Amino acid sequence: MNNLSRKTYSTVNLPALLSNYTQIANLAPTSKTIAVIKANAYGHGAVEVAKYLSPHVPAFAVAFIDEAIQLRDAGITLPILIIEGALSYQDLSIALEQNFWLMVHSTEQVNWLKQYPTPYVGKLWLKVDTGMNRLGIKPSDVDGILTQFSPEQLENLVLCTHFSSADELGNPKTQLQIQQFEQVNEKHGYKKSLANSAGILSWPKSHGDYNRLGLALYGATPIPINDLPIKLTPVMTLQSTIMALRKLNIDESVGYGETWQAKRPSLIATVAIGYADGYPRNAKNGTPVCINGQIATLAGRVSMDMITVDVTDIVDVNVGDSVELWGENLTIETVAEHLDSNNYELLTRISNRVPKFYVK
Ligand SMILES: *Cc1c(COP(=O)(O)O)cnc(C)c1O
C-alpha cells in the first residue's frame, strides 16, 4: 500500500465473505445457494470474489453475458446464470459454448431459441412474473410458452421468479408471489428458484432448489439488522485519510453552497474521498464516519475529491489519521440512513479510482 499517494482504498475481507456465505446457505440446507456477483460483485471485484468462492458454491449469477465472459477469461469454470438472459440471438451460441445458464423472460427470447439451428441444449431458467412487472412471463401465459420448449429443455428447466418486496417483512406481497408461483409450478414440478437475500433470510417458504444470494453475501442486509437470523460480517471497509484540519469560528461556513455553519468554535477535517470515488454526493450534514474508533459527522457538501467532517468532539485527531466511511466499525446501513439511497447503491457505485485490497 506504500505506492498510494492518497490513502483512500477499500479492503475486501474474503474470509468474511465465505463465513457469510456458509451461514446463509445453512439457513436453506436443502437448497443450492448461488452467489450473485453481478455489478463487479456489488463493488467487491467479481474476479477476486469468484476465484475465492469457486470451491464453495454451485454456480454464480451475473446480470448479462459480458459480465460472465469476464469471469471465464479469468479462469472461472463454474456454471454462470445470466439473469437478463440472451439480449440478442447471438448470445445463444456464446452461452452454449461457455456453459452459461440463460434466464428466459420474454417471448422474443423463446423465439430465438426456436430459431437456433440445432436443438439448444444449454440449461434454461424460465422466469415467471408474479408481480415484479419488470421481466418474466405472466402466470397465465406460462403453459403456452412451455409448449415451445423441447423435451430436453424441459427436463433441465428451472422455473424462477423474483420478489418485489421481500425486504419488507410485514408486506403480504411476498406470500402472494410465492402462492402464485407455486400454483404455476404445481402441475409441472420443475426445479424452482425464488429467493434473493431477503427471501433466504426471512421467507423460508421461498427456499427452492436454487436460491440467489446477493447483497447479504457481502455482509450488508436488506432487512433490519435486528431481524437477521444470523450475524453478518461486513466484507468491504471503505477508508480514507485526513488531509487537513482547520479551526472555524462561530458562523463560518464549510464547502460549496455554505450548507453548514459552525454553531460553536469548530474543528473541521478535510478527508480525501469525494463523489468521484463513489461516495454519495447526496450524503447530508450529519452522515457518520468513524475516526479513531469515534463517530464524527459530515459538515458541508460532498465535493468531487473531498469531504469535510466536524471533528470538534473527536479526541486526539491528526492529519494522516485514517477515516472509515463504512465497514468493520460503521455499518453501511447506518450511513444509508442519512441519504436518499440504500446499501446496494452505496456498494455498487464505488468507482475505479478507489483501489481494492484483499484480505485472504
Ligand atoms: C440481483 C438479483 C438477485 C440478488 O438479490 P439480492 O437482494 O442482492 O440478494 C437475485 N435475483 C435476481 C433476479 C436479481 O436480479
Q: Whose CA is nearest to atom 1 of ligand 1?
A: 214
Identical fold at 31-222 and 236-359? no
For cell 445457494, what's the residue?
33
Query: Strands 210-213, 260-261: parallel, antiparallel or unpaired by DSSP?
Result: unpaired
Out of 128, 135, 212, 218, mutate this one to test ligand 1's pocket (max ligand atoms within 8 Å of CB): namely 212
Closest atom of ligand 1 to 222 CA is: 7
**Distance of CA 56 from the midpoint of ligand 1 (Å):** 19
| Low-confidence residues in the chain, pLDDT < 70 | 1-2
SS3 39: helix
**Distance of CA 212 from the midpoint of ligand 1 (Å):** 6
Which pLDDT score is estimated for 142?
A: 97
Domain boundaries, the chain: 31-222, 236-359
C-alpha 307/C-alpha 311 separation (Å) is: 12
C-alpha 37/C-alpha 40 separation (Å) is: 6
Which pLDDT score is estimated for 185?
A: 96
Name, in order, each residue with C-beta under 8 angstroms of 68's C-beta and a sequence gap of 6 or more: 60, 62, 80, 82, 98, 100
Q: Whose CA is nearest to atom 6 of ligand 1?
A: 214
In the structure, which protein residues have their CB atom closer than 6 angstroms to any atom of ligand 1?
Answer: 36, 38, 83, 162, 196-197, 212-215, 222
Does the domain at residues 31-222 carry the CATH identifier 3.20.20.10? yes
**Distance of CA 10 from the midpoint of ligand 1 (Å):** 23
Which pLDDT score is estimated for 343?
A: 98
Which pLDDT score is estimated for 3?
A: 77
Closest atom of ligand 1 to 166 CA is: 7
Q: Which three cell numbers stand for residue 120?
A: 439448444
Which pLDDT score is estimated for 1?
A: 53
C-alpha 240/C-alpha 273 separation (Å) is: 6
User: pTM of the predicted model, to two decimals?
Assistant: 0.97
C-alpha 232/C-alpha 149 separation (Å) is: 41
Q: Whose CA is nearest to atom 15 of ligand 1?
A: 83
Fold of 236-359: Lyase, Ornithine Decarboxylase; Chain A, domain 1 (2.40.37)
**Distance of CA 160 from the midpoint of ligand 1 (Å):** 12
Catalytic (active-site) positions: 38, 256
